[in-house]
Amino acid sequence: MKTKEKTLIPVNTVVNAPVEKVWEFWTNPRHIVEWNNASDNWHTTVAENDLQPRGRFKFRMEARDRSSGFDFTGEYIKVEQNKLIAYRLDDGRQVRILFMPETGKTRINEFFEAEREYSHAAQKYGWQSILNNFKEYVERGESTETLHFEITITAKAEKVYKTMLDKKGFIEWTSVFNPDSRYDGSWRKGSLIRFIGTNSEGKRGGMISRIRENIPDRYVSIEHLGIIRDDKEITSGPDVENLAGARENYTFSSMYDKTLLSVDVDSNEDFRRFFMDRWPKALEKLKKICEGEGS
């Protein structure tokens, strides 16, 4: 009986970074959990990676609303540093990834054997989306670093989420950043929102942003698009080239009657000291607001 040949599906991208950095971001579990998702309503919660022939990997994939999840697992067949990774998934399908340097850039060609449950087009879209997310993550990392802050609040996630985002609560806890801090716009997914403050001369300053994802009581992702300076909105040019695409993510994790609030903020060197000083103070203020009103 003839065995049916498996269909090989290609996806590819070119990353504006040297191959050494691309390899590090592709293989290091600390980075894998940041980019290994096809859409913002999914994420990788845990990554284990023994990068050597016969070494195993396990990436835990979960929906942010906690409705579903699965383990992406397999075993490495061949590994050539900065050149090639080949592995076999636990369902028997094989994947091959080529890393090719191109004068300061890196071309990635990935080939995976199709499964039977979903259409080839749907599978290609999903794998290409993850690859696109990887490219964006690496290139964002060329000029920024992700700062992480977290705090445990004795209040349910629903209350922390509402207090953090509604206008009254937002004005109060973000006053740490600017005494006149406020926002104009909507927190709905896909909406534009402006984070505004007033400088010493009475002129507006702040950020022009887009809500990438909003899962109530679970997760909010903000993408910054430009800046407001002296009442002028700037979305292109050298003033924003290191800022465009920067993310600010809030994750609300329920722990019985408490909530672990995690904040991940992309920052360049210019803002790092400011954020390291102000974000912990802002979260402490939010904690006091939530706990002071009773949960």
Amino acid identity, position 171: I
Residue 264 has pLDDT above 80, yes or no: yes
Domain residues of the chain, as ranges? 8-140, 145-292
Widest CA span in the chain: 82
In this predicted model, what pLDDT tens digit does every residue of 194-230 receive, in sequence order? 999 998 888 899 999 999 999 999 999 999 999 998 8
Average pLDDT for the chain: 92
CA atoms within 13 A on the CB side of 231: 4
pLDDT of 1: 44
Residue 144 has pLDDT above 80, yes or no: no
Pick the more confident residue, 1 or 220: 220
8 A C-beta contact, residue 174 and residue 181 = yes
| C-alpha–C-alpha distance, residues 45 and 34, integer Å | 9
Q: pTM of the predicted model, to two decimals?
A: 0.74
pLDDT of 142: 65
Sign of the alpha-carbon dihedral angle for 71, 72, 77, 81: negative
Residue 2 has pLDDT above 90, yes or no: no
Query: What's the whole-number mean pLDDT along residues 142-157?
Result: 90
| C-alpha–C-alpha distance, residues 135 and 15, integer Å | 5
Buried-exposed string 188-213: b where 16+ CB fall within 10 A, e elsewhere: eeeeebbbbbbeeeeebbbbbbebbb
pLDDT of 293: 57
Pick the more confident residue, 6 or 16: 16
Percent of the chain exceeding pLDDT 70 equals 96
Fold (CATH) for 145-292: Alpha-D-Glucose-1,6-Bisphosphate; Chain A, domain 4 (3.30.530)
Q: Where are the beta strands (DSSP E) in 176-242?
A: 182-185, 192-198, 204-215, 219-229, 232-234
Q: Which of 13-22, 45-54, 129-138, 139-148 has the lowest mean pLDDT?
A: 139-148
What is the CATH code of the structural domain delimited by 8-140? 3.30.530.20
Domain pair 8-140 / 145-292, same fold: yes
Amino acid identity, position 271: F
Percent of the chain exceeding pLDDT 90 equals 76
Q: What does residue 233 show for φ and ψ, rounded to 5 degrees? A: -95, 125
If pLDDT is split at 50, 70 and 90, which confidence band does 166 have? very high
Residue 235 has pLDDT above 50, yes or no: yes
Query: What's the whole-number mean pLDDT along residues 100-105?
Result: 94
Cβ-based neighbour number of residue 71 at 10 Å: 12
